[in-house]
Amino acid sequence: MRTKRFLLAGAALVGFAWSSAALAQDESEETEYNAPIVVTAQFREQALQDTPLSITAVTSEMLAARGQNSVYEIANQVPNVTLKPSVAIWGPSLVASIRGVGQYNFNPALEPGVGVFVDDVYNATLTGSLLDLLDLERVEVLRGPQGTLTGRNSIGGAVRMVTVQPKGDNSGYIEAIGGSRKLVGMRGAIDLAVTDTISARIAGMVRSQSGYVENLDYGCVNPNADIPAKTAASDCKRGPNLGGVGNQAVRVQVRFEPTTDFDFTLTGSYNHEDRMPAGPVLSMASFDNPETNPLPGLPFDSRFMCGPFCNYATFQNGPGRDGYPAFASQVDPRTYYEGFEISGRGNYDFSDTLSLTSITAYREYTTSFGMDGDLSPARIDLESVSLKHEFFSQEARLNADLGRVALTVGGFYSWQETNMNYFLDIRPFFLQYVTDDYIPGETLAGFATAIIDVTDALTVTAGIRYTEEEKTYTYNQYRLDGSVNDPNLQGESGTYSDSVVDYRLSVDYRWSDNFLTYATFATGFKGGGTNPFPAAPALILPFSPETLKNYEIGFKSDFLDNRVRFNVTGFVNEYDGVQLTRLDVKEYGFDFGSLIVNAGNATTKGLEAELNLEPVAGLSLNASGSYLDFQFDYVDPATFLTTDVVPPFTPEWKWAIGAQYEIDLGNSTLTPRVDAAYQSSIYTNAANAPANQIEAYTVANAHLTWKNYEGDLSVALHVNNLFDKYYLLNRFDLSGTSGLVQDFPAAPREFSLIVRKEF
């Protein structure tokens, strides 16, 4: 029924656009509809409609019109793309999946599956990829394997954020932000001409907002309970609400252009977070264990399920009972992140037909976060993590224009090191230790892409990349008294190394100025490794890379004087060695732990469509939709999974629709906009079950923007979750080990007001 409504709505939109366009034939010929968007996904500037890729480009104007601030928000409008904030115990990390391929486990032993890039600099971990959209020119989302273009671990696709570059025009802007739940913030940028050959751009933001999930004291809320109150506060709050915002970021870019043949841009950025974590609530509580019960004879059950926007987390475990070490433990509930990056990008034109680009980057971050997993006075699950990560990369690309052949050859090298300290106090299974794990890795690659104009209409694109990579995981576990936790595990290492060749071949034909068709074959891979969380030495097990072959056809079209832009892609993927995380290992003979497995081989089929309409001046309508059929052809019996499972965060259906109209007020404009997005149900665990299913939902947002006649002053009102829909962003299913399920609801209806001044 939902699908029929979607198709009917799309047909109505097309009909409306067509009739509106027919009525507008006498408009000025100077009006430009669906202005071309330039992308750089294939190492050179190309119009979006000339690029034979399934790609969505979101411009800064569209980000502002929708009031979007974080990278995960853009996925609402992009077909077959899922971007979500991770669960609290996995920290400030991004869940990323495209066409059912990606990663949701933050652990640095695992590879992302969807590459995230800022100005072509790769983010090697999901941690630190939940980025603020600071001073961007556009975001490019590439669907399907990008192994020959963006390289390693882009098997699902890539998210490329392109920042505004220094121009030296002494321009800039400043924004002031306020809104629901004590939202306050500022954002701005200034572009300066330092000398005739040096320009600089400085951009920064600060944003703070209270959370929406209350952390309440169980004994205070339930004064007749056997558990005494820990606070005398009238509102029974133990501390700040969870799910808040506390971000600061700054980016400085200095561009040196001594001649028309050479330019060099040095970029430094700093990001800082200090906030309460994503806000979980209990939707299941059923565990009776003498060691973990809040009080003897008082089981952990539904009485500790606080409600849709609250929990009873204490962030501590009391002294042990029944022979458990008699001490109390606690964790800091706040999430901290501090990272900086420095990069240098040089471009040198040897001639009109030959140029060299070099990109050197170093990134470092530290982060810490913790969570009371049972969200109650029980003593089931208390965990905290601290990470220190370093990453260096060097890329060089030589571009040659050989007439009908545009050639790019290059190389890439990176190394990374991560230290991870994981504290666990999981008393049902007498797990109480601290890890000091070390995870280094290296990658070396060479690549080439040729774009061959066989005729003025026919183009063939061929790409190849050879990659060598290695990663080692060394385990160190210590009891809280400093002694070794397990001598059979201490100092053990697991090493993964491999070499892979990826290919891409694409043929596109431009039938007219307004119609392009293409067919593509491409491959990609995601590296293997060693299970990063062995609760016992027997769980130190390797997992192999996963690989994907993509067969894709599509067309891109503009018609009715560019008033209508309609792009469609169909694809079939052969997906082998699918990596999944098992959070319940009882079937393997262990009470507790997690395991990364190569589940088996799958075939996926899908369809994606995007429609942009500008039937008359000032009116914009956009819609997108996608369908994905994910089916395992073979599942390894040793994984205890079945062929009917689907990977986490893989919706079968997605659609989005939006409309805005610019009303001329004479000396200013007023632009109302409405957006709605639908996602069908998904699972958040490899072992699909009702306890880890997120039901389908539709969410709507509304916006109203006023601009003065000059366009340099604007006031925008944004209302997110317009109809106050209760829906989940994420879900963490520990029902098989600890009898609990954590839900992570999205924020209730909220508004923000943004005042922007450009100069």
* The predicted structure's pLDDT at residue 417: 97
All residues at 6 or more sequence positions from 1 whose CB lies less than 8 Å from its CB, including other chains: none
pLDDT reported for residue 31: 66
Q: Dihedral sign, CA of 66, 69, 75, 78?
A: positive
Closest CA to 83 of 138, 158, 180, 155: 158
Rounded to whole angstroms, what are the CA distances from 304 to 227, 283, 456, 579?
12, 10, 69, 35
| Separation of CA 435 from chain center | 27
Task: Please give the C-alpha separations between residue 341 and each of 187, 249, 266, 267, 268, in angstroms, as whole numbers.
Answer: 20, 11, 11, 8, 6
pLDDT tops 60 at residue 582: yes
Arithmetic mean of pLDDT, 277-300: 93
What's the pLDDT score for residue 11?
Answer: 38
Query: pLDDT tens-digit profile of 425-474?
Result: 888 877 888 999 999 999 999 999 999 999 999 999 999 999 999 999 99
Q: Does position 741 have pLDDT exceeding 50, yes or no? A: yes
In which domain, by residue range, is 708 found? 2-758
- Average pLDDT for 146-161: 92
- For the cut 90, the answer to whether the pLDDT of residue 6 exceeds it is no
Residue 323 confidence (pLDDT) above 60: no
Question: What is the per-residue pLDDT for 225?
Answer: 77
**Alpha-carbon gap, residue 695 to 337, rounded angstroms:** 31
pTM above threshold 0.85: yes
Provide the β-strand partners of residue 70.
Answer: 132
- Give the per-residue pLDDT at 589: 80
360: Cβ contacts below 8 Å, ≥ 6 apart:
343, 344, 345, 393, 394, 395
Query: Is 480's pLDDT higher than 70?
Result: yes
Task: Tally DSSP H helices, then E strands, for the chain.
Answer: 4, 48
Instruction: Assess whether pLDDT exceeds 80 at residue 321.
Output: no
How far out from the chain centre does Cα 286 lie? Answer: 32
Task: Please choose, from the candidates 379, 406, 400, the residue with its C-alpha nearest in 3D space to the C-alpha of residue 313.
Answer: 379
* CA distance linking residue 323 with residue 327, whole number of Å: 11
Q: Tokens for 690, please give them.
A: 């009702």
Closest by alpha carbon to 55, among 67, 40, 33? 40
Looking up residue 575, the CATH number of its domain turns out to be 2.40.170.20
165 has a pLDDT exceeding 80:
yes
Predicted confidence band of residue 19 (pLDDT cuts 50, 70, 90)? very low
Percent of the chain with pLDDT over 70: 95
Residue 142 has pLDDT above 50, yes or no: yes
* pLDDT in the model for residue 325: 59
What does the pLDDT look like over 79-137, one tens digit per residue?
999 999 999 999 999 999 999 999 999 999 999 999 999 999 999 999 999 899 999 99
Residue with the two structure tokens 């969505």: 56
* pLDDT surpasses 60 at 164: yes
Mean pLDDT lowest among 54-58, 294-298, 399-403:
294-298
Average pLDDT (340-364) is: 97
Instruction: State pLDDT tens for residues 240-255.
Output: 999 999 999 999 999 9
pLDDT averaged over every residue in the chain: 92
pLDDT exceeds 70 at position 722: yes
Q: Which residue has the tokens 């709050």?
A: 237
**pLDDT tens figures, 389-400:** 999 999 999 999
- Give the pLDDT of residue 65: 94
Q: How confident is the model at residue 21 (pLDDT cuts 50, 70, 90)?
A: very low
Into how many domains does the chain fold? 1
644-678 core/surface letters (b: 16 or more CB in 10 A; e: else): ebbbbbbbbbbbbbbbbebeeeeeebebebebbbb
Q: Which two tokens stand for residue 376?
A: 């109650």
